[in-house]
């Protein structure tokens, strides 16, 4: 049966792929049945323009940031991809919100499973340009630019596709209300303090920059960063060697890892003299946070980051 559907997809989409390679069009309306074109609106995206249903009911998302924003806007997708092995790193900030959503694969979606879901819109990032012709024949497909340093823009993009601009406005109101409350409670306590954030992977330590997802939240809370981190960087982060570990220091140090190997590497580094010399370590101001929350790059994850800032900056002695 699996092979049957595979060849069915190829048979249906083969001609379209062939013509797409020889004749590019920026108006992708052919994927929408003619009877629906009067009830759709054009959305600009990285592949051109696509006519999407006015009120999509069967939504498929192709990244965690898209999934989180879709859920935050009050829409439960019928299917979604995931960039991580959830058995290794749980998506704690999503809690039970993904219950009932069909898992479509790690990074790349299973086209057969996606076709069977009969979505009326597919939303993702431009990672999926190579398979865009296939996706757009399953359903109207829109791809946003993958910009790790501008997660706010992707929220607006998803809201536009779903017709949920009012919901987006409410989300921003909630976000800034929490930020203002955090600032009010903190007061002048951290006026002269530096907040550092690093994450650890396989044999590598990364410094989180000012223009990252977590960095933007810390900045909105008027919390100061060490000079080495108060910069913009491609993808919002940059690696440092063990000899440069001083760049990770601050009055408060938030630490996370994005893999089991990262956990093991971090444990080894914590025994090293260079780690022990860090001011935050010596003053016992090192706090371990959930990587998937602090790298969520979607509105749903902001509450988890702000919760941690309350927990470790306000509620600790």
pTM for this predicted structure: 0.84
| d(C-alpha 79, C-alpha 74), whole Å | 15
Enumerate the CATH 3.40.50.1980 domain ranges in the chain, comma separated: 14-163, 170-313
| Closest-CA residue to 123 (of 166, 96, 168, 155) | 155
Query: Domain spanning 14-163: which superfamily?
Result: Nitrogenase molybdenum iron protein domain (3.40.50.1980)
pLDDT in tens, 110-153: 999 999 999 999 999 999 999 999 999 999 999 999 877 789 99
pLDDT in tens, 3-48: 333 333 333 343 333 333 333 333 444 444 443 455 899 999 999 9
CATH fold group of domain 170-313: Rossmann fold (3.40.50)
Ordered strands of the 204-208 beta sheet: 237-240, 204-208, 195-201, 252-257, 286-288
């Amino acid at each position: 049966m699996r092979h049957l559907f595979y060849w069915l997809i190829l048979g249906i989409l083969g001609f379209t792929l062939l013509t797409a390679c020889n004749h590019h069009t920026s108006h992708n309306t052919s994927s929408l049945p003619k009877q629906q074109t009067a009830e759709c609106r054009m959305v600009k995206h990285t592949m051109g323009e696509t006519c999407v249903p006015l009120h999509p009911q069967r939504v498929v998302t192709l990244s965690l940031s898209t999934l989180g924003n879709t859920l935050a806007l009050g829409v439960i997708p019928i299917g979604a991809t995931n960039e991580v092995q959830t058995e290794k790193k749980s998506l704690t900030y999503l809690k039970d919100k993904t219950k009932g959503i069909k898992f479509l694969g790690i990074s790349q979606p299973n086209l057969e499973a996606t076709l069977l879901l009969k979505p009326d819109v597919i939303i993702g990032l431009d990672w999926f340009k190579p398979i865009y012709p296939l996706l757009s024949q399953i359903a109207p497909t829109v791809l946003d630019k993958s910009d790790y340093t501008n997660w706010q823009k992707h929220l607006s993009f998803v809201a536009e596709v779903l017709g949920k601009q009012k919901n987006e406005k409410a989300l921003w109101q909630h976000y800034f209300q929490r930020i203002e409350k955090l600032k009010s409670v903190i007061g002048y306590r951290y006026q002269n303090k530096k907040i550092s954030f690093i994450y650890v992977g396989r044999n590598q330590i990364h410094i989180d920059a000012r223009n990252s997802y977590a960095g933007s939240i810390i900045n909105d809370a008027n919390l100061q960063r060490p000079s080495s981190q108060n910069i913009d960087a491609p993808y919002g982060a940059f690696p440092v060697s063990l000899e440069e570990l001083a760049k990770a220091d601050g009055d408060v140090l938030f630490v996370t890892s994005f893999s089991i190997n990262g956990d093991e590497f971090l444990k080894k580094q914590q025994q090293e003299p260079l780690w022990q010399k860090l001011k935050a370590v010596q003053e016992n101001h090192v706090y371990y946070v959930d990587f998937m929350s602090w790298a969520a790059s979607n509105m749903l994850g902001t509450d988890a980051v702000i919760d941690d800032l309350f927990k470790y900056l306000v509620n600790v002695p």
